[in-house]
Structure 1
């Protein structure tokens, strides 16, 4: 890729960023199996023209929803450790998520101090206001300013939340230089957020930062149930399209491509810098391969607009 590195693209608020996101393997895996998963992952990613990789930090979010989780929560490896110990063959930058409430201040401080030059981060707050935390999101942002102000920092954007554009601007004031959305299924809600954010930036005389849209394939109704459980708003028409499709994965793929095109057009009309994150968190081979195909297709769509 003959483009600037990801940290520079985000620092300069350039459009067209493309990243791919995964979760680290489950802690219950053997060391041999973890190595195998890492090798296969690197082989798959090698075929893609990416600006970077996202490694999610998974936390138990049962506090957000009293209903039973559609899939059981299984702890995963620490994303920072997985990167340094098993993904040494990855040559592009990596965005490491940190659910900051899980970590005591000294541990978070030590990780930031030791993060390499190709590392960026996204700090994630607690999944509910009543959750007990070791480090608050605000304190984590302060620590980063004290320990590693040069560490590129991103933040999560959730379209369905009230006044989310104001939250984004508050995070921006505390050091966030880019945003990664929760998975997008409701395009209208996302466009509402983008519009509110863009015009509030204009009103304040602040430059908008790059918003990276997360696209995730949904190959079954069970997966859709988990998405809903996590608080993502799925429009009824989209649920019906997937539920009644002869091939739910193919229908989900088609809708993701349509959403990507719609968001590109909308952002370019506004003049808002944007990018995409293709999420691959399923263990089903068909969904993993379809995610790779989606990333390749979105790459071609972006290439014609860069």
Structure 2
């Protein structure tokens, strides 16, 4: 496992197999003392995981994307860049900081880009959750800002299997993002492995036809310990195969059932990428704040570490 800048370079290259852990910052309403306590607990949980980096999410209200009631209520969270800078300074490895760019004024993004340590920080810019949502900065504007202010900042993009399943062109969208400077991809939560492998295959061979190298794809995995979590995965737009949904609904222990399946999925995806010659990694997260599911995600990360080269 590399340190510091080396890991930033690894994620933006075809070298090695990376392991990340995804975190959601504390609620916006917490005090500085409470945020510091949460950070301390988080860093303690990370000890011994042998992670290559963290992913810090930027949470936005996506009610405009899905009119159904959100299973877990939307609560505004701290700016992940602020949480990282002010409360995770003891973390010595890199972080991928998401930016829901529509939430921020261009000046705010420009100031952050000017000050961020690009040897330790990467970013993923996320656009609006729907075409009609009012935004302060459009995704293309944010990308142009990065190009002007901090072109050396490694920039990732989101890849979505479900969009590929419905439209069939996600691999082409990935190539277009790559041509605009994307150096790695992080997927939405993956449960439909077969569709994800089809997306990877189309992306890999489309790159080969164009004579370009495919970028690293980091697969996001998340455990599911309750029917409420399963409903939230559906609300987020994650496709869970019907057979697996049935297994989770009827299992006396859905958390262990989903953990075991995530490990099977990780092994399947890792083997497929190795055979294909595709650079890859894993990002483990919990969409639930239940301690049992958070602990299970930590266990999942430990288990995946053992299978990576």
TM-score w.r.t. the length of structure 1 is: 0.96
> What is the aligned partner in structure 2 of residue 62 from structure 1?
63
Gaps of 5+ in 2: none
- Do the aligned residues in 1 keep the contact of 2:13 with 2:183 (CA within 8 Å)? no
> What is the aligned partner in structure 2 of residue 85 from structure 1?
86
Aligned match for 2:243, one of 225, 229, 237: 237
Residues 125-164 of structure 1: matches in 2 within 5 Å?
Answer: 125-161=127-163, 162=167, 163-164=169-170
Once the 2 structures are TM-superposed, how far is the Cα of residue 2 of structure 1 from its aligned partner? 5.0
Residues 138-287 of structure 1: matches in 2 within 5 Å?
Answer: 138-161=140-163, 162=167, 163-287=169-293
> What is the aligned partner in structure 1 of residue 115 from structure 2?
114
DSSP 3-state at the match of 1:154: strand
- Do the aligned residues in 1 keep the contact of 2:220 with 2:285 (CA within 8 Å)? yes
- Do the aligned residues in 2 keep the contact of 1:23 with 1:56 (CA within 8 Å)? yes
DSSP 3-state at the match of 1:64: coil
Separation of aligned partners in 2, 1:145 and 1:21: 26
User: 1:31-59 CA deviation, whole Å, 9 max, x = no partner?
Assistant: 32221111000011122101100100000
Aligned length: 303
Which range moved further: 44-53 or 26-35?
A: 26-35
> What is the aligned partner in structure 2 of residue 102 from structure 1?
103
Q: Tell me whether 1:24 sits opposite 2:25 in the alignment.
A: yes
Once the 2 structures are TM-superposed, how far is the Cα of residue 286 of structure 1 from its aligned partner? 1.1
Residues 7-22 of structure 1: matches in 2 within 5 Å?
Answer: 7-22=8-23
Runs of 4+ aligned structure 1 residues displaced above 6 Å come to none
User: 1:162-221 CA deviation, whole Å, 9 max, x = no partner?
Assistant: 211111111111110000000001111111110110010011111000000000011111
Once the 2 structures are TM-superposed, how far is the Cα of residue 140 of structure 1 from its aligned partner? 1.1
Gaps of 5+ in 1: none
- Do the aligned residues in 2 keep the contact of 1:20 with 1:280 (CA within 8 Å)? no
- Do the aligned residues in 2 keep the contact of 1:96 with 1:122 (CA within 8 Å)? yes
DSSP 3-state at the match of 1:212: strand
DSSP 3-state at the match of 1:182: strand
Root mean square deviation, CA, Å: 1.2
TM-score w.r.t. the length of structure 2 is: 0.95
